[in-house]
Amino acid sequence: MSGLSPRHWAGLALLAAFAIALPFAFEPRGYGIRILCLALLFAAMAQSWNIVAGLANQISLGHAAFFGIGAYTSTLLLIHFGITPWLGMFAAAALGGAAALLISLPTMRLRGHYFALATLAFGEVMRVIGNSWGGLTGGPVGISVPFAQPSLALMQFRETRSSYWLMLAALVLVTLVFVAIKRSRLGYRLRAIKENADAAEVIGVDTTRTKIIAAVISGALTAALGTLYAQFQFFFDPDTVFGVASVSVRMAMIAIVGGIGTAAGPILGALFVIPLEELANQVFSAQAAGLSQLVFGLLLILVILIEPRGFMAIGPRLQRLFGKGDRR
């Protein structure tokens, strides 16, 4: 399990080459490539959520808090101090991590529904603050990232292609972090907590500390991705970046649809959910607002009812169905 076989490496290399070359198949500033960018970004977000929810089973409904903190931090630093978003991203991650620590301290003892409720409220607190602290955030009317000459130094690009590669790099990085955690002592401890917290404590796992470390890493990564979102969209408001449905639930749903707790799950989930949503928007929105969101909700319910372990469980299921190779 520690090393991949040469065939796997070859497969991964092929996949990487494909992912890097993919933008050349699209119009440089077209709609298709923008959707791909969003899919990659949301895959990375879902992967960050996966660190706490997938590995430790701490189901957060408030990750929008970190995402919004990240988006506002780098944007405000850029507006007021001219600090490049590359640095702003680190400031965002630091603040996101600090926020995760702050909310972890009182909520770490909570499990299951209680934890979900507490994190949901935390996300809403941040949304309310974002809307009411107009002096800082611009309030409900939103905030614009100052547009300069496209330059790598300011993380602004002439062609969407460049954004694509940035998002791709972010996704790869977050996925590597996820895999590294999963295989590390932290990963073993998180799994132990997920499966039996009392037993984990008794055999020497500091469950509180372990959960907090995972929450801080997850919060910091999510906040850094908030910076990428701000630089990609150029405009956002509190209801968007701190939104329950638009961010918190969407991150979670993508991970669940793909396969919660697996590295490939969030990627598969995002490549399915985001284009589908965009398609629904394209097809339906003209006639009826709400239809694409309705599709989103129905999809979530269907996945939960049919296969709550997501796409990643379908492969093994089919194998079992046809009687090939039992699990390990």
Q: Which residues bind another protein (CB under 8 A)?
A: 53, 57, 59, 61, 103, 106-107, 109-110, 112-114, 116-118, 120-122, 124-125, 128-129, 131-132, 183-185, 188-189, 191-192, 195-196, 198-208, 244-245, 249, 252-253, 256, 260, 288-291, 293-294, 296-301, 304-305, 308, 327-328
Residue of 325, 248, 268 whose CA lies nearest to 39: 268
Main-chain dihedrals φ then ψ at residue 144, nearest 5 degrees: -110, 140
Whose CA is closest to 49, among 294, 280, 321, 257? Answer: 257
| Minimum CB–partner distance for residue 24 and another protein (Å) | 36
Cβ proximity to another protein: between 169 and 291 the closer is: 291
Give me the DSSP letters along 120-185. Answer: HHHHHHHHHHHHH-HHHH-GGG-EEPPP-S-BGGGTB-SSHHHHHHHHHHHHHHHHHHHHHHHHSH
Smallest separation, CB 272 to another protein (Å) = 16
| Residue nearer to another protein on the CB measure, 22 or 129 | 129
Q: How far is the CB of 3 from another protein (least distance, A)?
A: 13
Let me know if 107 is exposed, middle or buried by CB neighbors in 10 A (0-12, 13-18, 19+): buried
Nearer to another protein by Cβ, of 260 and 268: the residue is: 260
Q: Which two tokens stand for residue 72?
A: 């506002």
Burial of 72 (0-12, 13-18, 19+ CB in 10 A): buried
Rounded least distance, CB 282 to another protein, Å = 17
Name which of 11 and 297 has its Cβ closer to another protein: 297
Q: How far is the CB of 251 from another protein (least distance, A)?
A: 12
Min CB(293)–another protein separation in Å: 4
Nearer to another protein, 5 or 149 (CB): 5
For residues 199, 201, 202 and 204, what is the CA-based torsion angle, rounded to 10 degrees? 130
Tokens of 268: 């598969």
* Cβ at position 12, least distance to another protein in Å: 23
* Beta carbon nearer to another protein, 27 or 206: 206
CA distance 258 to 211: 23
Q: How far apart are alpha carbons 285 and 208 in whole angstroms?
A: 45
Q: Where are the alpha helices (DSSP H) in 57-111?
A: 64-81, 85-107
Q: Which is nearer to another protein, 167 or 177 (CB)?
A: 177
